[in-house]
Each structure stands twice: as structure tokens, then as C-alpha cells.
Amino acid sequence: MKYRYLLFDCDRTLLDFNSAMRSAITKLLNKYGIENVTDEMVSFYDAWNNSLWGQLERCEITKEELVFARFPVICSRYGIPYPGKGKMETDYILFLSEGHKPMPDAMETVKELSKSFELYIVSNGFIEVQNRRVKESGLIQYLKGSFISEEIGFSKPDARFFEEALRQIGNPDKSQYLIIGDSMTADILGGVNAGIDTCLVSEKIPSGYDYAPTYVVSSLTELINLLRKF
């Protein structure tokens, strides 16, 4: 068997982040006075949030700066009085942690792969959010553990994130690991930086990058078929 350890990204790989985010931002805006939350509002927040996470991955901002940059902009755009640092942020984290819907075939995939591999979560998310979502989704029963950037001290794609994960697992042999995720800039670049094989879960093969995943699968079911070949 080529690999022994599978390092899974969480959001948009195993858990449906889009539905969790949509529900959370809707509840948040409802609480702060917007009764009719439109698709445009959700899309704007999603784009703004993604741009901040991109800055975090490039080490241009800290996670704390990310947290407190999100909602003043949203309030200004939609005419909501910003209630003060920490209030909307805390509410959003709570609402987001309630979203634990698995991605299609995620449960079946981890159940099957856990019979032959050790499975771990590797996430840039927040501890209280990811731990609750993974637990309540039911995925936790098939996992050996999780590594979250807030605990590790580094974020993907920093090689040190993965090096610390390998240290804690107790096996530094990088050839026995496979990183599985949906993000070219966090998961795949992280694997390239750390010298670990990667598998991109995507229906489209991305272009415009000067690095590439070791493998590309269109679905988690296809991942099972890929790993059976080794």
C-alpha cells in the first residue's frame, strides 16, 4: 500500500461549507435587522470572506485581522450599525458551527477508507467551529484526529503546518501521506511546499498555476477507486 495516512481538508471537501455559510450569514443578518437576506448579500459576503482567507494563506494578514475585518464592511454596505468589536463575530461563529452537512458521498468515503488508512482532518478553520461540525456530522467516528491551524500555529499552505501534523502523528515519512482537498492555494500548494503528495477533489482541472496536484479526482467516490489501485 503506497499511502498509510490520508490528510483531508474539511470545508468543501468533507463538509458542505457553502450551505453552512449561507445559513450562518442569513441568521446573522436577520439578527441585526435585515429580514430579507438576498442572494446578492450572501454572494458578496462569500467573495469578501474568500478574499480575506486568501490574504491569510499568503501571510498578508493574521487570523485575528481576518475575523474583525469581515463585518464592518458588511455593515457599511447594507446599512447596518456595527454593534462593536466581537459581537457579530461571536454570533457568526456560533451560527457557522451549527452547519454540519457532509459533502456528497463523504460519509461513505471516510467509512470505507478508514478500514485501510488512518484518516485525519487538516483545516484552516476555527477550533470551536470545526470540532463541533465534524462531531455533529458523524464523520468523527472514522477519524484518528484533526489538525487545525488555530492550534498548530501555522496555516495551510505553510509547510510548517503539515510538518507539525506529521510530528504529532509520529511518522515523519512523507511518502506515506496523501493530502486531499479542494483548494489549489491551501491544500495543493501546502503539499507542494511540504513535499507531500496531493489529491485535488474537483470537477474541473484548474489552470494558471505553476504547480500541480499529484492526482485529480472529480468526486470522493473516485478517490476510493484511485486508492484501490496502489
Supply the DSSP symbol for 175: G
Ramachandran bin of 196, using left for φ above 0, alpha for ψ from -120 to 50, beta for the remaining angles: beta
Question: What's the pLDDT at 204?
Answer: 87
Domains 5-16+101-228 and 17-97 share a fold: no
Q: Residues 9, 11, 158, 197: which is the catalytic one?
A: 9
Per-residue pLDDT at 125 exceeds 90: no
All structural domains of the chain with their residue ranges? 5-16+101-228, 17-97
* CATH match of 17-97 with 1.10.150.240: yes
Per-residue pLDDT at 109 exceeds 90: yes
Dump strand ranges (E) for the chain: 5-8, 118-123, 145-148, 177-181, 197-201, 215-217
Mean local confidence (pLDDT), 149-160:
95
Task: Indicate the pTM of the whole model.
Answer: 0.94
Strand partners, 198: 179
Per-residue pLDDT at 206 exceeds 90: no
Distance CA 129, CA 202 (A): 24
For the stretch 36-95, pLDDT in tens is: 999 999 999 999 999 999 999 999 999 999 999 999 999 999 999 999 999 999 999 999
Look at residue 181 and give its three-state secondary structure.
Answer: strand
CB of 205 closer than 8 Å to CB of 216: yes
Ramachandran bin of 153, using left for φ above 0, alpha for ψ from -120 to 50, beta for the remaining angles: left
9 belongs to the catalytic site? yes
Confidence band, pLDDT 50/70/90 cuts, at residue 20? very high
Superfamily covering domain 5-16+101-228: HAD superfamily/HAD-like (3.40.50.1000)
CB of 206 closer than 8 Å to CB of 213: no
